Amino acid sequence: MPTLILTAKDVKELIDMPEVIEVVEKAFADWANGKAAMPPKAYVQVERGDFRAMPAAIPGGAGLKWVNVHPDNPSRNLPTVMAILIYNDPSTGYPLAIMDATELTAYRTGAAAAVASKYLARRDSRTLGLIGAGRQAHTQLMAHLSLFDLQEVRAYDRSPAATDRLIKAFPKTRIRAASLADAAESDIVCTVTPAHEPVLMKEHVRPGTHVNAIGADAAGKEELDPSILNNAVVVVDEIVQASRSGEINVPVSKGLFKVESIFATLGDIVSGKKVFERRPSAVTVFDSTGVAIEDVATAKLIYERARAEERYHAVDMVEA
C-alpha cells in the first residue's frame, strides 16, 4: 500500500473550513469521553524560535505533527508557523500519509476558536474583533464567518500592511482597520499576536464579550491583562498545556491566576459534561494552546478526501 504525499497545494485544495469545524468539535467531545489519546505537546527550544511534537490518536486515526514557531520569519519571507504531519492507521501503525500541515494548523486553530465561540459567546454576536492580523487571523475570520452572521469585522495590527492584506483577502466581508480599543469593543474578540506582554487590557473589554486567546502557545507568551482572566469564565483546550504554555501560563507562574479557577475544558463543554449557562454580562475567555486531536481530526478529513477524489502523489515508503 502506498503512502500519500500531500503538499501544501494539495492540502489547500482539499481542506474546507465548515468540515474542519465539525471534525474538531467532534474530536473535543471524543477526547472528553475517553475515546482519544493525547499526551501534552513536547517543546524543543532553539535560538530563534521553537519546535513542538504533537502526537494523538482519535477514533479511526492517529498521527504526529512536527511544527515550528519562528516569530522573525515574516522578515525572511517565510511563515512564522510551518508544519508536517505523519498520519497513521491506528490499528496497524501504517503511515497512510505525510502531509504539509501549515494550512491545516491555521484551519484547525480557527475552527477550535469558532467552536469555543459557538458554546461560550453570546448567540446574537454580530461583531468580531481581530487583534493581530497575520496568518492565523485569516482562518479565525474564515471560521467565525462559517458559524456567525457577522455584520462587521474590526482588525487591529501594529503593522498596517498586515491589516491591509487581511482586508484584501476578504473582499465580500464588511471588515475595516481599527484601533485596539475599537477592535476590542466587539462581541467576539480573537487575540492572535506572538506577544510576550499583555496587549488587550481590562479597560478594553466590555461586559458580555467572548475572547479567544490564541497567540500564547509557549511559556512566557501572554496577550491578556491577567485581571481579565480573574473576572472571566475561563475555558482551556487542555489544562496541563494551558498552565505551561497557554494564555494563563504567565499569570499562573506569577501567582496571579490559579489553575483551580479554570471553569472547564472545551471538551467538557462540547460533550455536555460541564454545563455553561451564560449570563449576558459575563466575560468568557477561551485559552487555546492548540492540541494534537485537532490536527489528527483534520488530517483524517484531508486523507479521506484525497483518497476519495484520487488527488495525491504516492510513494512506497515502507517495505512490506
172 burial via Cβ count (<10 Å: 0-12, 13-18, 19+): exposed
Q: How far is the CB of 281 from ligand NAD (least distance, A)?
A: 27
Q: How far is the CB of 235 from ligand NAD (least distance, A)?
A: 13
Q: How many residues bind ligand NAD, per CB under 6 A?
A: 27
Q: Which of 125, 193, 249, 298 binds ligand NAD (CB under 6 A)?
A: 193
* Distance of alpha carbon 40 from alpha carbon 204, whole angstroms: 32
Q: How far is the CB of 79 from ligand NAD (least distance, A)?
A: 6
The nearer residue to ligand NAD, 3 or 212, going by C-beta atoms, is 212
Contact between 117 and ligand NAD per CB under 6 A:
no
Give the CB-nearest residue to ligand NAD.
134
* Distance of alpha carbon 138 from alpha carbon 130, whole angstroms: 9
Q: Which of 55, 134, 198, 251 binds ligand NAD (CB under 6 A)?
A: 134
Judged by CB under 6 A, which stretch of 5-13, 21-29, 46-54, 157-165 contacts ligand NAD? 157-165
DSSP state, 96? E
Q: At what angle do helices 17-32 and 292-309 cross, to 10 degrees?
A: 130
Q: How far is the CB of 172 from ligand NAD (least distance, A)?
A: 22
Could you say which residues in the range 206-235 bind ligand NAD, by CB under 6 A?
214-215, 217
- Assess contact for 138 and 166: CB atoms under 8 A: yes
Contact between 158 and ligand NAD per CB under 6 A:
yes
Q: Which of 25, 50, 157, 295 binds ligand NAD (CB under 6 A)?
A: 157
Contact between 80 and ligand NAD per CB under 6 A:
yes
Point out which residues pair with 42 in neighbouring strands.
53
Contact between 105 and ligand NAD per CB under 6 A:
yes
Q: What count of Cα atoms within 13 Å lies in the side-chain half-sphere of residue 234?
A: 27
- Assess contact for 106 and 291: CB atoms under 8 A: no
Residues with active-site annotation: 65
Contact between 133 and ligand NAD per CB under 6 A:
yes
Q: How far is the CB of 300 from ligand NAD (least distance, A)?
A: 18
Sheet containing strand 42-46, strands side by side: 42-46, 49-58, 61-69, 81-88, 95-100, 3-6, 313-315
The nearer residue to ligand NAD, 214 or 228, going by C-beta atoms, is 214
Cell of 308: 476519495
**How many H helices and E strands in the chain?**
11, 15
Q: How far is the CB of 45 from ligand NAD (least distance, A)?
A: 14
The nearer residue to ligand NAD, 61 or 110, going by C-beta atoms, is 110
Q: Which of 6, 32, 162, 297 binds ligand NAD (CB under 6 A)?
A: 162
Residue recorded with cell 487591529: 156
Strand 49-58, strand 61-69: pairing: antiparallel
The nearer residue to ligand NAD, 80 or 271, going by C-beta atoms, is 80
CA 61 to chain CA centroid, nearest Å = 20
Could you say which residues in the range 263-302 bind ligand NAD, by CB under 6 A?
288-290
179 burial via Cβ count (<10 Å: 0-12, 13-18, 19+): exposed
Q: What count of Cα atoms within 13 Å lies in the side-chain half-sphere of residue 136?
A: 31
- Residues in contact with ligand NAD by CB under 6 A are 69, 74, 80-81, 105, 109, 132-137, 157-159, 162, 192-195, 199, 214-215, 217, 288-290
